[in-house]
Amino acid sequence: MPPKVPKTLRLPTSRDVPRPAAVFDPVARALDHIGDRWTLVLIRQLLGGPKGFQELRQRTGIAPRVLSARLRHLVQQGWVASENAAAANRSHYTVTEQGRTLEPLIAEIARWWVQHAMEEHIADVGPFTETSAQSILESLPFLLRDGIARDADVTFEVRLSGEGGGVWTIRIADGTCTVVRGFAERADVRYTAEARVWCAVALGLLDARDAVKRGLLTKDGARDALDEYFHQIPHPDGIALARPASGGKPRRSK
């Protein structure tokens, strides 16, 4: 005797077209649970440490009303926790243990884009013309060339002047990359440049050797080059998005 089918479960006939909600699809169900794209974008930012509302705005470019709604939703869903900062009496947001379970997914999405979709921007670099040095530096772990970096043990120090400048330490060891703000205790290679110049070099829009020849970039230390370890946007013309140190209009590298 065949088992009885629960009344709540109606098996479709071969001619029925099911509703999406009636299909058991782990990918679809996961995306329903996670929500829209801002969930992963915001959790990616919070994985680096607690952040306030304004800092999240500056790092993501999300409109205030949208950001407020998304943070409220993430707190309600248990992905993010809100806590008051004693000094300013303003909310800071932290990722919860539930939110941290999304870290491998976020990393794989970033790597997929770098390896399979980033080159689509060769002919349209517009989205990167106002990219901040901080956002590029903090994305370097996703841009790492795993094969080249697997046996590397090297520390870079990047000193950037001008708008968006600062000092960062980049460490590549055991096939992983870490980026922290501040001076390196011991740097194998040190880069010094104006922030816009370094952004163009890091993205592959300006050749590093050409930038050194033109006096736009200074490289001290070992022969290791930062661009050897990271994926870049290949551009045949090497368009420089930075102004020369002496001022003037941006130029194409030759």
Which sequence spans correspond to the domains of the chain? 20-100, 120-229
Q: Residues of the chain with pLDDT > 70: what percent?
A: 79
pLDDT for 211 equals 92
- Assigned architecture for domain 20-100: Orthogonal Bundle (1.10)
**CATH superfamily of this structure's domain 120-229:** SCP2 sterol-binding domain (3.30.1050.10)
pLDDT tens digit sequence for 107-159? 999 988 888 877 765 445 555 556 789 989 999 999 998 888 888 999 999 99
Is the pLDDT at 169 greater than 80? The verdict is yes
Is the pLDDT at 239 greater than 60? The verdict is no
Give the 3-state DSSP-derived string for the chain, with helices as H, strands as E and coil as C. Answer: CCCCCCCCCCCCCCCCCCCHHHCCCHHHHHHHHHCCHHHHHHHHHHCCCCEEHHHHHHHHCCCHHHHHHHHHHHHHHCCEEEEEECCCCEEEEEECHHHHCCHHHHHHHHHHHHHHHHHHHCCCCHHHCCCCHHHHHHHHHHHECHHHHCCCEEEEEEEEECCCCEEEEEEEECCEEEEEECCCCCCCEEEEEEHHHHHHHHHCCCCHHHHHHCCCEEEEECCCCHHHHECCCCCCCCECCCCCCCCCCCCECC
Per the prediction, the chain carries an average pLDDT of 82
Is the pLDDT at 44 greater than 60? The verdict is yes
Which is higher by pLDDT, 22 or 9?
A: 22
At 1, is the pLDDT very low, low, confident or very high (cuts 50, 70, 90)?
Answer: low
pTM score, two decimals?
0.74
